[in-house]
Structure formats: C-alpha cells, structure tokens
Amino acid sequence: MKKSIFVNSKIKKTISYYRRIWSLSHAQALLSWDMQVNMPKMGIKERSVAQSEISGLIHDFLINPKFVSLVESLKTESLNEYEKGVLRVLERKIRIAKSLPIEFVKRKSKIESKAVIAWEVAKKKNNFKKFEGWLQKIIEVSKEMAEYLGYEKYPYDALLDLYEEGLRMKDLEKMFEKLEKKLRNFLEKLEFYSEHPLEKEGYEKEKMERVNLNILKLFGFPLGKRSRIDISSHPFTQEFGINDVRITTRYEGFDFKRSLLSTIHEFGHALYELQVDKRFMFSPIEGGVSLGIHESQSRFWENIIGRSKEFCRLIFPILKRELPFIKSYTEEDIYNYFNLVKPSPIRTEADEVTYNLHIILRYKLEKLMINEKVKAKELPEIWNEEMEKIIGIRPKNYREGILQDIHWSLGSIGYFPTYTLGTLLAAQLRFYILKEIPEFYEQISAGKFSLIKEWLREKIHRFGSMYSPKDLLMKSLGEKINYKYFLKYLKEKYF
C-alpha cells in the first residue's frame, strides 16, 4: 500500500467531510446512468424528484458554514501539490454553489426540464415555434446566471468557465477566427465524395457487438472487472469512481462506423477515469479535470487512432470475420469510409475537416445570445446564413438546422467550444507522443496499446483534477492548446 498523499491534518479533515458529498455524487451517477440505460420511460417523474433532492443535499453539504470555513482556513496552510489541488477544486465548487441562489437553481432546472420536452416535440414536428419561447427563457436564465457568477468583460465568459475552468473568450476568439479561415480553405481544395457504399451496408446487432468487444479487448478494456458496456441512444461514459467506469454504445443496424467509432470514443473517455492515480479515491481531485481535456482523450482514440490506416489494417480481419459484407471491400475502402469528408448540415455526422466549423457556428450564436440582445426568434435565420457561409450548405428545415442539438434545451450554453478544444488537443498530443514514441503507428498496426496507454497515463490521466486544465497542459506539454498541430495533421492526412 502506497503512503497517503494527503498529510496536512486540516486537509484530512476536509477530505473526510467531503466523503458525504462524494457518496451522494456516487449515488447520483448511478441514478443518471440507470435513467439512460435501464429505466422504463414512465419512471422519469419519480427519478427527477429523487435526483433534484439529492442535488439539493450536495449543495447543502457544500455550503455548510463549518465546511466552508474549514476550506477557507486551508489557504494559510502550507500544502503539497495534491493538497493544493484539493483546495483549488473545493474553492471553485463552493464559489459556484454560493453564487447561485437556491430559488434561481430550482427555477432554472424547472425551465430546463420543460424546455427539453418542448425541444423534442419541436424537432419531431420540425416546428421551431414550439421551442422558441423556451429557448428565449433559456437565454434569459443563462444571462441571469452569468450575472450571479460574475465576469470581467463578457457575460459569456462566466458560462465558458462553468464547462472549462479558466476558459475565456480571449482564448477562443483569434483561434476560432484563424481556424475557420484555414478549414474553409481546406474545404475549397478538397475533393468530395457524396457517399460511400459502406454507409448503406446493414449489419446484425449481435455481430457488431462482437466487433466492438473484440476491439475493446485489444485495447485492454477491463470489462467485468472495472467497467461494462451497455446500449443507449446517445453513447456516453459514466464514472462512479476509479474502479467502476462504464460506457455505452449504439446499434442502428447500418453504417457500422457509427457504432464502432462511438465505442472507441467512449473508451477514450473511460480510460482517462480508469487511469487516475488511485490514491485520489474519494477525494475532490479524483475525476478528469474538464470537458475539454476529457474530449481530447476520446478524440485521440476515435480520430488519431481509430481513423488511422494502421488501425484499419489491424481490425480488418475482425471486420471480415464478423461482418459478411466486408468480403467485397478492402482495407483501403475501410480507411476511406472512416475518413470520408462531406459537408453535412448535421454536427454529429461531421468529418474531421468540417466538425470544428459546426462548433464555430454555435460559438458565434451563443455569443450573440449572451453578450448581445439577439432574440430566440432571430436565431434560425442567423444559423442558416452562417451555415451557408462557413460550410456551404443551407439547412432544408429546422431539424437540420437550429433544432438539431439537445444542448441549448438543457441550458448548456458555453458547452460546445469544449468539443473543439478536445479535437485540437488530441492532434497536439499526437505530435508529442510521436516525439517520444516514434513507433506509435507500428504499435497500432501490431495491436499493442500498452505504451500508448502508459504515455497518456503519465502525461494526463494520473493527475485527475489536481491541476487546472491550463496548468496541466503547461506542466505536461509545456504549452497551451495550439490549433496548429491539428491543421498540420489534417494537411498530412488529406493533402
């Protein structure tokens, strides 16, 4: 047994109190996982009540005056790096919890639970009017929240910070501007294929399940021991602690890369949680640090590894064995199918070249909603115009346009940019891993993933949340997120 890393007596007291919050969050995680994987539809009403009551308990424990003053007293203690991480994470959690009045949190969550239902109906009926009023309410409560949270320059900064600690518009403005220009330039030069025959090939669920399990086995995913895989309509990863991290995937019966690459994506998220330093267990620094860093891990496995030539070569025999239609295709076909570039109005179907343009569009709209006085009713037209300008497609209807994503209906404004941060960082990590493991791609061809996993553990995973996202990158890579690596990667791949 390794010696404890927490030595300061006040820190020990803090962590022992925190165990209540940890346990409630653990229960909350199970309720939420179960809701998406097992729960009968009608259970939603009772489940929502239980979840909201537990959230209230977590909130109460967090702002308990005795606990708050204990955490405040840590500031004058001499703390080691781990303990400083605990202080940073708790200060942030307490600051956020204290700045939002209970009345506001309840009102906001009521609006969101109704807005998401309105969004579902609106999307199904392709009728924006049914959602417009709710979106307007979401914009208003988001602005209100920004005021409670506080910001220096732009209200949108307060929302960005919620999803990515320390992220500000000034980190994104120039980067997104240049990225947009370069990506549109790529699009102009690229030759498109309208479709690939493999997109139409149907599969049996049981066979595809075996493909996914075979691939997870190659990766060394600890199925049954510390993880499991289930099915849900939107794939996700749920961590309960370091020794129980679960993923889901989907089976639509055709276009098998959707199931396969989703599974690999979620594996990347799960590996991060599985490789956190075990001594962090039950403490506030246990989980992954931010959405952006998390997404860099999923994108690294999905894009950098999963869409590589070497990976296509590695899994070709598995595909051939399990999916009968593969007989009429080659490894090269699989690679082209995985890397098909075609401008589509739908973000979740986007390829590596156009994906970030979809995010930039949403970023522009979110700024208009939060920093400017643009109203919900004006947004569909702005969406369509921007879409035509940056991706070259005009959505045929609301479903293909402004109603496609669930995020805004859930009140998540400021979330989208983390997808791009993750995608860019994945390519940056590729640059650094190639420097230290030049045989990176040979390892993939050979189905050997332990060196790669170890490198990710060493540079990112083991730290959990002990450093802020920005500090973590400075410490591990010696620089902040830089979009140049991503552009270089695309250039090598497509030109």
Binding site for Mg ion (CB under 5 A): 298
Question: Are residues 378 and 75 in contact, defined by beta-carbon separation less than 8 angstroms?
Answer: no
142 or 297: whose CB is closer to Mg ion?
Answer: 297
Using the Cα atoms of residue 379, residue 381, residue 385 and residue 387 in order, give the sign of their dihedral: positive
6 or 236: whose CB is closer to Mg ion?
Answer: 236
Q: How many other C-beta atoms are found inside a 10 Å radius of the C-beta of residue 177?
A: 11
291 or 326: whose CB is closer to Mg ion?
Answer: 291
H and E: helices and strands count for the chain: 20, 3
**Element at 244 (helix H, strand E):** strand 244-249
- What do you get for the CA distance between the two ends of the chain, in Å? 52
14 or 296: whose CB is closer to Mg ion?
Answer: 296
Q: Any catalytic annotation for residue 310?
A: no
- Least distance to Mg ion, CB of residue 265, Å: 6
- Least distance to Mg ion, CB of residue 350, Å: 14
- Least distance to Mg ion, CB of residue 472, Å: 18
Q: Which residue is nearest to Mg ion (CB)?
A: 298
Measure the CA–CA gap between 311 and 286, rounded to whole angstroms.
31
Look at residue 360 and give its three-state secondary structure. helix
- Least distance to Mg ion, CB of residue 418, Å: 9
Tokens linked to 55? 């959230």
Measure the CA–CA gap between 269 and 418, rounded to whole angstroms.
14
Marked catalytic residue, from 239, 266, 273, 295: 266
Measure the CA–CA gap between 237 and 246, rounded to whole angstroms.
6
215 or 323: whose CB is closer to Mg ion?
Answer: 215
Look at residue 239 and give its three-state secondary structure. strand
Q: What CA–CA distances, in Å, run from 356 to 51, 183, 363, 426?
A: 34, 8, 10, 13
298 or 384: whose CB is closer to Mg ion?
Answer: 298
- Least distance to Mg ion, CB of residue 425, Å: 13
DSSP 8-state code for residue 261? H
- Least distance to Mg ion, CB of residue 409, Å: 19
The catalytic residues are 266
